[in-house]
Amino acid sequence: MSKIKILLADDHQIVLDGLKSLLSDIDDFEVIGAVSNGKDAVDFIATKEKPDIAVLDIDMPVMNGINATREIKKNFNGVRVLTLSMHNEKGVIQTLMDAGADGYILKNSSREELEKGIRAICRGETFFSTDVTMSLLNQSTEITANNELPEEVKDLTEREVEILKLVAEGYSNKEIGERLFISHRTVDTHRTNLMKKMDVHNVAGLIRIALKSGLVD
């Protein structure tokens, strides 16, 4: 059985040495190179030897892991990429996936998880740490305006609509009062009525309706 050839890149020498010794202990793994930045990783593949998989840190000087992933994926067919980082940030992970990374493992993962990841990726699968998968699931919601006014809003008085709009624009009761030449207590009463009429129990709910109704430009 041929060994899985691995290229490592991390700018922290101790981490690099640690990874190297960790992976070299596994019988069918062979670390063919260990470099300290993304550019050296790309150069290594171009001039020395093509690995089966490149294990790249994300934060590295000269060329980071994201750009190195792009370069490797563009120029070297068949080289798989596993990125390794301490960031559990959805945006960063999304960027990496877009760059073509085959997997992503957090630095707080165990040796077993790393080994599992490398094997999965070399079988042609993708591999993401469990925590990472969770963070990708949690999406924010975009509110968009409908062209048609919802029923609840049709029943509001002109003044109430005016106030709803200002609330969604982030004005406080005091500021709204000053703008409309009424007391802030009156504004507060309008707010309470608005919530009752629209059957919402918090400010966020009020604002959601205002946005959906297209009251905010």
Partner 1 sequence: MMPKALIENGVLSAIEDMLENTLVGTGISYNIEHYQLKERLPETIELTLFRICQELINNTIKHAKATEIIVQLIKSIKNIVLIVEDNGQGFDQNKSSDGIGLLNLTSRLNTINGEVSYESSSNSGTSATIRIPLV
Main-chain dihedrals φ then ψ at residue 157, nearest 5 degrees: -75, 165
Residue list 133-152, contact with partner 1 (CB under 8 A): 135, 138, 140-144
Rg (CA), the chain: 27
Residue 95 found at the interface with partner 1 (CB under 8 A):
yes
Sign of CA dihedral 36, 41, 44, 47: negative
Cα separation, 45 vs 73, whole angstroms: 12
Residue list 62-91, contact with partner 1 (CB under 8 A): 87-91
Residue 172 found at the interface with partner 1 (CB under 8 A):
yes
Residue 13 found at the interface with partner 1 (CB under 8 A):
no
Minimum CB distance to partner 1, residue 207 (Å): 6
Residue 171 found at the interface with partner 1 (CB under 8 A):
yes
Cα separation, 193 vs 190, whole angstroms: 5
Distance, CA of 217 to chain centre: 28
| Cα-based distances in Å from 60 to 9, 175, 196 | 9, 49, 55
Using the contact rule CB under 8 A, the part of the chain among 29-37, 49-57, 71-79, 205-213 near partner 1 is 205-213
Binding string, residues 28-67; x marks residues near partner 1 by CB under 8 A: -------------------------------x--------
Element holding 6 (H helix, E strand): strand 4-9
Q: How many residues belong to the site for partner 1 (CB under 8 A)? A: 33
Minimum CB distance to partner 1, residue 91 (Å): 3
Among 92, 23, 28, CA closest to 55? 23
Residue 184 found at the interface with partner 1 (CB under 8 A):
no
Query: HSE (CB half, 13 Å, CA atoms) of 61?
Result: 3
Residue 216 found at the interface with partner 1 (CB under 8 A):
yes
Cα separation, 183 vs 177, whole angstroms: 5
Minimum CB distance to partner 1, residue 196 (Å): 13
Minimum CB distance to partner 1, residue 150 (Å): 16
Nearer to partner 1 by Cβ, of 13 and 135: the residue is 135
Beta carbons within 8 Å of 12's beta carbon, 6+ residues apart = 57
Nearer to partner 1 by Cβ, of 76 and 88: the residue is 88
Which residues of this protein are in contact with partner 1, per CB under 8 A?
59, 87-92, 94-95, 135, 138, 140-144, 168-175, 201-204, 207-208, 211, 216-217
